[in-house]
Structure 1
Amino acid sequence: MSEKTALAPDVPTSTAWQKGRRVYVRCGYNSPLNTALRHLGAHWDGTERALWTGSTKKAAVIELVRAREERKKAVEDVKAAGRWVHIPYDAHDLRARAKARCAVYDGDSRKGWWAMRTDEALAEMQDLVTKWRQRAEAARKEEERAHQQRAAAQAAAAAEATRQAARSRSEQLLADSGRTPTGEMAELHEISTRRMTKAAALDLARTPGSLVRLADGRRGIIVDVQVWFTDGEMASSVCWHPETHDQAHWDFQYTVAVVEPADAEREQDAQAAAEREDAAALNDLIEAAADLTAPRTEGWTHLPEEEQAGQITVVRGVTRFPAGTLTLTRDGQVRWQHPGYYDSYIATEGTTSAPAVVDRVRRLITAGNRERSCNPAGQQPVYFTVTARKHRA
């Protein structure tokens, strides 16, 4: 087998060599040297992994290899000169311009960087790159603005679709209820401190289409329901429910379409208003009883039931502790008896025959037997029992 020998002292055997009557050259497939060797009639040798020609073309091959080495040195000289410019990959026209100016691309260590051959070419390419980046940035901002506009339009369309769906659902619920809407909307908020899952909370919530009565007495149909959980930490900072402050709880938020009250509801409202007015009159009377019956003395005088025309008994607080009795006697007197306050509990009573007071008490007693309650602002709840005594012959 023939030994590998050098073609010339300045040609490395790693690039070109001779074996017998064949001259071998190893080069890139698409390189200029490959093309030139093909034109020279070179053939591929799969064993040597190189192109080969006969030894008669040795001189021509040496010239082609030396030209390749000169080109490589010229490229390295251009790189060493340091006239580098970075051309973005998307700037296809700029890369084409750089190739036209015979710029050298560094695809190994500095991808995207091109070495220009002259200062003039470098200045030209830097200016072109700057202008390209400005146009690209302007286009990016325009696209971003257009994207934001499209997103805003989509969000607005989705929100409008949601509102339309809610409006249609509300209209259908109102139609199914058979009630007459007033056009007003209201919110009803309820809470629960029960331990339960979200599914259980949703089952516990009022159902859409239900009739509810708001705190101000208006009626409405529930058209939307929202349920969420508020933990203890959140409750301590945002919760407005004094009874559950610092306590974890479930919130039930209802959107209510206010409706006209039915005839029976109007009667109920009128009766409730009359009862509230009656309770307020009883409370005003009891609040003024001590002054109306002054002066008072210690101890109570027993008054037989047959001498009574009626009584108003008062208790206070959730435990309903006694807070006094106002009695109308048959001989036209008003007697106020009070059990006293903590911690002395000294029982006292006072009596008056003033016509205005007697008439005031008589009107409230003769209105009939009943029970009333009220919650004066900042005070404990008050409960009244009115009893009219029937005269026995």
Structure 2
Amino acid sequence: MTGIAASENAWLLPSALAAEPDRTGRQPRRTTRDWIVDSIAFLIALGFVIMVSWDLHQRVQPSPLGGTIPEWLLTLDGWLSALLCAVLWVRRRWPVQLAVAALPLSLISAPSAMVVLILLFTVVVHRPLRVAGPVVLLHLLAAFAFCWMRPDPTVSLRVSIVLAITITASVVLWGMVVRARRQLVVSLRERAHRAEAEQQLRVAQARHLERTRIAREMHDVLAHRISLLSLHAGALEFRPDAPPEEVARAAGVIRDNAHQALQDLREVIGVLREEGAGDGPERPQPTLADLAMLAEESRVAGMRVSVREQVDHAEAVPAGVGRSAYRIVQEGLTNARKHAFGAAVTVTVAGGPGTGLSVEVCNRWPVGLPPVQRIPGTGTGLVGLAERTSLVGGRLEHGRTEAGDFRLAAWLPWSAT
């Protein structure tokens, strides 16, 4: 019996639940492990039947009714026990039913003891204790009755009972250990599958957040480009009699920004693709050092922009802080171009490590309508800036001041370390 338990335990990990029915109630196919274990169990049980039957024929067996047990009855007992070994091939499908069916034979048959122990082991391994317990108790009572009806002349009745209890308890405990290990393997496997699924979900969420972030960056750039296009196109429409040099210069700016806008749009579409969106290299993101180029681009478009930088250790500005400051200034210039055309715009950037970075964009409140058609907007730019600022732990303010200016101000944290 120890060999059977060792075999099942050794082959436990490849197929921990090979004998358990699935959720539809169908029995899974027999695995190589099952064939090997069942073959070992059958051979051990059959060998035990042959050995015990031969030993019984060599000795006189007293009958509980008086006299001795006839030879033909011992032979019949051996053949029935040998036939009982065949049920070991289907013991996983009906463990409780087979164990209960073998109960009458265990009352009178000594050669069937090994088959009965293997059946009990299977019941304990594949059924919970509330089901296996009563079956084991019935077989233990049958063992007591067998010891009383067919006592061994070499040992006392008390020793036989203690031996029966010890063997049965060992089988039951070994089966409980195997069942506990199977449940542990299944639990660890489920944990591994759940961890893998959670990891895949986290990767998918990270990709989605990265796509959203890059798309937001591209949206800000694209809105800036389109506003420049609209501004120059409106100027050409407003002044059709402009000198050829100015028309050519404005047309060149429109062409360059249109090409750049198309490139940005392609990148946005590529980022938003479900598959392979993040495979290509990400374009370099702007930093605080690019503010001068941004202001010059707006001046070429006809805006009056002045930039004041009072930043300590500007070269040490964190990339995320510098990029956020750039986007805030870009959105402020785009809004000024849309809603306060011709007004002077002042950009102030100040701060340092430990105190944070302050960004402010101010322009005069427009009076009347601009000389060109208003540039349409979605009204979500400031909402996006508020979200961006809050994500990095900063603050954003915007609105009309007492002096009559429109002010867009933000504070971004900048750690001293």
TM-score by length of 2: 0.23
Give the number of the structure with larger relative contact order, counting CA–CA contacts within 8 Å between residues 6 or more apart: 2
Q: Structure 1 length as normaliser, TM-score?
A: 0.24
| Structure showing greater Rg | 1
More strand by share: 1
